[in-house]
Chains A and B, each alone.
Chain A
């Protein structure tokens, strides 16, 4: 969506538990080549991607870098969360795998020092960097030198690794609390990621739940989340998903927030069950009905605990 505001034509590549589907990317690149079109770049958050929280596997990272070379294609590696890893082995950034020929690497202090600093960094092949500098100067002349001095002092003191280690501990704890709360309060039909780092969990609900509407219900209970639709360029997707952020609030608030969202979902599951459970009995059901819709198996269990 950010690129769209610059009137870019974007193609979204599917993500699974191992990050971007490189086979799909290959197919898209082939199709574009056949059409005689050349993409400007491939954007990716390989580690703890926002919103899904998933991390691209080493194998896919290697393949992505190979593809970039093959097609002489720039990769934009956005890595705001890479240092916030709570578990598993750190994976090499695309920049490292590629050696820097085709990768523009972007980092930020927003997630490891403070978002208010508004400072980040980029590493890019020299001809690209020249253009970046031009564009940056055109948009803001220069970054505040005062904040740059602050940051230099901060890193000069050498305590930043310690601070990140503290953050990682904090976020790991909060992730655990949120996952535990999800297990307790979300219905059995829901699924979610258990990220090894970053700030977000991506939860998917039964298909008949529109999280945009669910949000209206949740807001009345003073709890919010980001509806999944916001993560897709194609607005028909992500409707039954949501992004949950576990970084910003304490353990008790996470538990209470998840409980309230879970209650709102349970009410919808319950209602849908009441609606579809009766549906079978209706004589008017049209014959073109898909069998799956009337199967016993598709009727959702009544949530006695929540309706009491």
Chain B
């Protein structure tokens, strides 16, 4: 098969995407397919129209590649592609939208408030912040609604840290959410097709237990896969992850990030197109399930070509 690999783009996650893409290309070659690497730029549509691949592997992260934009173009061109469709991507990239979907579907997700910048500038939303303490309590997490990785995510331990955290988060997006901080184990469940893969746990290094920002620094976090969970915990986590995947309308594959609190799992977000680099969580989970990276890529292509997924 001729497989176009879309990677790069202009998002802040360009670097990760290029690594994901390169690894997928290697796997495709080993599987005997013809890989057509495309760094997504101004000539994207032209190149796809000329090359007419059998299927498109979308290895892009962040705005542009993971928010439904590229998926929309691929639908217009009538090309089958890997990963979730337009609507699911649009819901995943917007954490606020995703949380509404989760809540509506009865999937547990931490309480939150969301604000537009306009609300503070023009509508006096700061007055409503008083509700925060009663409804969410401290500490709380302040996040830009759209944006990848941990960029702009701040942790407010008290009332007086909220304005500064909001200023930071609004640097990335005009909409920001303030979310109740849920203490617990940090887990990620990748779903392939409709099957949850083994659970991955992120274990922050010593002393970082309460330092939210530090957890995202490379080298300060270790990963365990499969996570050491009791069977009832693992099944609750898988159920929540699958519930989230379905509520968002994902297809092909995605990764669901959760916290396992004392009273059960809480879904934080769904990543439409998780990283596929050699340190990424989805490939780790597949490996724990006994799948090589080639087998994983092969399965993703099969799912993209299934009539139901289109």
- Contact B152 A216, beta carbon cutoff 8 Å: yes
- In the complex, which of the residues B12, B159, B167 contacts A286, with contact meaning CB atoms closer than 8 Å? B159
* Interface assignment of A295: CB less than 8 Å from any CB of chain B: no
- Residues on A with C-beta less than 8 A from B166 are 271, 275
B interface: dominant SS:
helix
- Contact B121 A216, beta carbon cutoff 8 Å: no
Q: How many Å lie between the Cα of A282 and that of B170 in the bound state?
A: 22
* Interface assignment of B216: CB less than 8 Å from any CB of chain A: no
Of the four ranges (under 10, 10 to 19, 20 to 34, 35 or more), the interface on chain A belongs to 20 to 34
Q: How many Å lie between the Cα of A290 and that of B160 in the bound state?
A: 9
* Interface assignment of B163: CB less than 8 Å from any CB of chain A: yes
* Interface assignment of B13: CB less than 8 Å from any CB of chain A: no
- Residues on A with C-beta less than 8 A from B160 are 289-290, 293
Question: 1/0 contact trace for A292-307 toward B, CB 8 Å?
Answer: 0100000000000001
- Contact A274 B167, beta carbon cutoff 8 Å: no
- Contact B164 A272, beta carbon cutoff 8 Å: yes
Given contacts A272-B164, A278-B127, is CB(A307)–CB(B121) below 8 Å? yes
In chain A, positions 191-241 with a C-beta closer than 8 Å to chain B are: 208-210, 213-214, 216-217
Of chain B, the residue at the smallest CB distance from A277 is: B126
* Interface assignment of B151: CB less than 8 Å from any CB of chain A: yes
- Contact A208 B159, beta carbon cutoff 8 Å: no
- Contact A213 B168, beta carbon cutoff 8 Å: yes
Q: How many Å lie between the Cα of A205 and that of B164 in the bound state?
A: 13
- Contact A279 B126, beta carbon cutoff 8 Å: yes
Interface centre among A213, A276, A285 (most CB of B within 10 A): A213
- Contact A275 B163, beta carbon cutoff 8 Å: yes
Question: 1/0 contact trace for B118-135 toward A, CB 8 Å?
Answer: 001100101101100110
* Interface assignment of B292: CB less than 8 Å from any CB of chain A: no
Quote the shortest CB–CB distance from B124 to chain A (angstroms). Answer: 7
Q: How many Å lie between the Cα of A293 and that of B164 in the bound state?
A: 12
- Residues on B with C-beta less than 8 A from A213 are 151-152, 167-169, 171-172
* Interface assignment of A268: CB less than 8 Å from any CB of chain B: yes
* Interface assignment of A283: CB less than 8 Å from any CB of chain B: yes
* Interface assignment of A270: CB less than 8 Å from any CB of chain B: yes
Quote the shortest CB–CB distance from B210 to chain A (angstroms). Answer: 16
* Interface assignment of A142: CB less than 8 Å from any CB of chain B: no
- Residues on A with C-beta less than 8 A from B164 are 208, 210, 272
* Interface assignment of A27: CB less than 8 Å from any CB of chain B: no
* Interface assignment of A281: CB less than 8 Å from any CB of chain B: yes
- In the complex, which of the residues A271, A277, A283, A284 contacts B170, with contact meaning CB atoms closer than 8 Å? A271
- Contact B168 A278, beta carbon cutoff 8 Å: no
Quote the shortest CB–CB distance from B209 to chain A (angstroms). Answer: 18
- Residues on A with C-beta less than 8 A from B152 are 213, 216
Given contacts A208-B163, A290-B160, is CB(A278)–CB(B126) below 8 Å? yes
Given contacts A271-B117, A284-B159, A285-B159, is CB(A210)–CB(B168) below 8 Å? yes
* Interface assignment of B158: CB less than 8 Å from any CB of chain A: yes
- Contact A274 B121, beta carbon cutoff 8 Å: yes
- Contact B171 A214, beta carbon cutoff 8 Å: yes
- In the complex, which of the residues A279, A283, A284, A290 contacts B163, with contact meaning CB atoms closer than 8 Å? A279
Q: How many Å lie between the Cα of A33 and that of B172 in the bound state?
A: 47
In chain B, positions 187-205 with a C-beta closer than 8 Å to chain A are: none
Interface centre among B133, B152, B160, B171 (most CB of A within 10 A): B171
In chain B, positions 20-40 with a C-beta closer than 8 Å to chain A are: none
- Contact A275 B159, beta carbon cutoff 8 Å: no
Question: 1/0 contact trace for B139-169 toward A, CB 8 Å?
Answer: 0000000000001100000111011101111
Of chain A, the residue at the smallest CB distance from B213 is: A235
Q: How many Å lie between the Cα of A271 and that of B133 in the bound state?
A: 21
- Contact B126 A274, beta carbon cutoff 8 Å: yes
- Contact A281 B158, beta carbon cutoff 8 Å: no
- Residues on B with C-beta less than 8 A from A264 are 171
- Residues on B with C-beta less than 8 A from A277 are 126
In chain A, positions 229-276 with a C-beta closer than 8 Å to chain B are: 264, 268, 270-272, 274-276
- Contact B129 A216, beta carbon cutoff 8 Å: no
- Contact B121 A283, beta carbon cutoff 8 Å: no
- Residues on B with C-beta less than 8 A from A216 are 12, 151-152, 171-172
- Contact A283 B130, beta carbon cutoff 8 Å: yes
- Contact A271 B121, beta carbon cutoff 8 Å: yes
New A-B pairs, 10, CB < 8 Å, besides A216-B12, A275-B163, A289-B160? A209-B167, A213-B167, A213-B169, A216-B172, A268-B167, A276-B163, A278-B127, A282-B127, A284-B130, A293-B160
Chain A residues within 8 Å of B, Cβ to Cβ:
208-210, 213-214, 216-217, 264, 268, 270-272, 274-279, 281-286, 289-290, 293, 307
Nearest 8 interchain pairs by C-beta: A278-B126, A213-B171, A275-B163, A213-B168, A208-B164, A217-B171, A282-B130, A284-B130
Report 25 cross-chain contacts, Cβ distance below 8 Å, ordered by A residue.
A208-B167, A209-B167, A210-B167, A213-B168, A213-B169, A213-B171, A216-B12, A216-B151, A268-B167, A268-B171, A271-B120, A271-B121, A271-B170, A275-B129, A275-B167, A279-B129, A279-B163, A281-B127, A282-B127, A283-B130, A284-B133, A285-B159, A289-B159, A290-B160, A307-B121
